[in-house]
Structure 1
Amino acid sequence: GVLASEVVELDLRNHKRITLWIRSNTVTASGDLQLLLDDHEDCASPLETLNLPALAEDTWAAVTLTLADPSLLGSIISVGLKQTVDLGICIIYLDAIKAISSLPSIGMMGGAVKKDGASELSETDEANSAAEDDMNLLPANTPVADEDGYYFGHLSETFQTLRLKIGVSGEADELTITWKYWDGSDWVALTNVLDNTDSFKAAAGDHDVSFALPTDWAKKTIASISAYWIKADLTVYTAGVSPVQPLGTQSWILGKEE
């Protein structure tokens, strides 16, 4: 059905991705559901059709969909959701649908710092190079919840999207990363976080972390680097049977969402 029609006309030609949260009351396979974008009312003739991934039952999922390049989405006025198979009585919930700009990165990493307990050591050169697996996203020894993590920062710009190239996944362990920012006096959890790194457990490759832009974000000096930081704070950790240290290869800060 149609999610929105005759909305304010949107020009998405300079956008690269659609991100959203979705939940289904039934299990779906990849492509069972499609997101439609159209310059006609009621999605009568979609300009672009995007397959949604497989969904578990009654579980919110963060989804990133890549738009076609070059784009034809110059005047979108309706957005729809389509079933390609009969899912029976299927209830779909959608939230936080965003178009993310294709603006280039606003600069190299101003700072990248590994946190191992009280030790904070810059890995900025490593984060800005393509050398493989040289970013220690968590300590090599047994990480400790609420003590270990990683900082990513830019010297002069606030930002809403971090791209991290994972080299070695931490999928063998049970771990949870809470993404935070510095408000001038404390580390505060970011809101509307879409963490495609899956707390450093995603497969090797490029993954984005996006979030709502804080209004009270302040600079902080870490490892002698004054920057706008986000903190990947390890809040849950249980070692697996064969623990694996998550490693990064490179990271970038992207343009702000529109």
Structure 2
Amino acid sequence: MPEQITLNDGAAIPQLGLGVWQVDAGITAQVVGWAIKAGYRLIDTAEGYQNEEGVGEAIRASDVARSELFITSKLRNGAHQRDAALTAFDDTMKKLGIEQLDLFLIHWPVPSQDKYVEAWKTLIELKKAGRIKSIGVSNFNQDHLERIIGETGVTPVVNQIELHPRFQQRALRDFHAGHNIHTESWSPLGSGRLLSDPTIASIAKKHGKSAAQTMIRWHLQEGLIVIPKSIHQDRVAANFDVFDFELDAQDLETIRGMDSADGRNGPNPATAAFLF
């Protein structure tokens, strides 16, 4: 089973979970149900994914106690103003059908609209009201983090960022470590592009594991929280079957050497301006 990572507010999050980005709403409940049965306890969704209702359905259908599950969602980019954020959060909670959210993140800073500080203050307000256990951010660069911490005195528990062997974000992770912010990896398999990478394939063969399992193991050994996604039951289970082997020092050094400054697959947080 995955380790529990202690966050800077004292809460604990499972290190390995399921992400449901781009999981069709019609199958989300089934996929999340498979994950919970396979042992996952961390489920990561977002308002912008339009599948929170399916996550809620799976929670209700599960025989695992709600207290054992760690549910994350994210504030949509078009709802950074306080009143809009409060309304959006109410909608999230209605769709999930739960009383308290374990973790709520600002999905993107969208610096061009310059409202992410207001959004952060609203999350602080919701946490103080007891509606959220922990608050964090996603896709924030160092300057965004410095600003919200400087203007509120409240440090996010996590920053969920694109992170995989081709884009390791070492400088940002160093900043996180210096401020007790845990790094959470989205697109941990490089949006699937690294599943056929020969370097990863060689390490995977050495351990008798798949490329996906090898990369998930790398994230775990790097101390990252990781949320791989799959809509196939066998792969959902396989992605959780990563606790019976370890990468050695040479494996880790080889993967470290795969890092590339231009390895980003997703949008750049400095310029991303989409509102959903």
TM-score category, normalised to shorter length? under 0.3
Normalised to the residue count of structure 1, the TM-score between the two structures is 0.27
> Which protein is richer in helix relative to its size?
2
Structure with max Cα Rg? 1
